[in-house]
Amino acid sequence: MGATTMRSISSLIHKLKTDYPEVSFVKGDVFAWSPETQTVFYNNDIPHASALLLHEVSHSILEHSQYRRDVELLALETAAWDKAYELAQVYHIALNTDTAEDNLDTYRDWLHARSTCPECTANGYQINQYHYQCPACTTIWKVNEARVCELRRRTVQRTTK
Ligand SMILES: [Zn+2]
Ligand SMILES: [Zn+2]
């Protein structure tokens, strides 16, 4: 009670740096995990910063790097939130389930937008990393690249052709 978000996140970052010395923590515009550079990006100004920080650290602990199908990404996101709840207990951070659910909803919406056939709105299946096909009308459509935890900026972009 009373501690500012910024103060609590900096003390949390300090503890995480000690416990996970192999991970770099870098201030960025958004929360993100970069498996290539083993870096967690964070931004104090975003609401629920502590929860999001624990979520990104969870991606690193679980060694999340690649996924081949969009549904796998949703599984990775869910796993990272489950891990974040464990970390929240360890570091005494209040983590509201709504934070995780709201975040996962953005992925569910994204997945739904990507997998909906632009011609007939049937639910398509993913045939490779960037293409879906409709089982009803056989339309194939291209989707944009999306990376772990960097999706929210792209979720509104719906491929129409
Ligand atoms: Zn279709
Ligand atoms: Zn994530």
Phi-psi domain of 23 (left: phi exceeds 0; alpha: psi -120 through 50; beta: other): beta
Ion ligand 1 nearby residues (CB, 5 A): 117, 119-120, 122, 134, 136-137, 139
Average pLDDT along the chain: 85
Q: How far is CA 149 from the centre of its chain?
A: 3
Q: Which residues of the chain fall short of a pLDDT of 70?
A: 1-8, 145-161
Percent of the chain residues topping a pLDDT of 70: 84
- All domains of the chain, ordered by start, with CATH? 5-116 (3.30.2010)
| Reported pTM | 0.81
Q: Which ligand is nearest to the CA of 141?
A: 1
- At 100, list the tokens: 């995780």
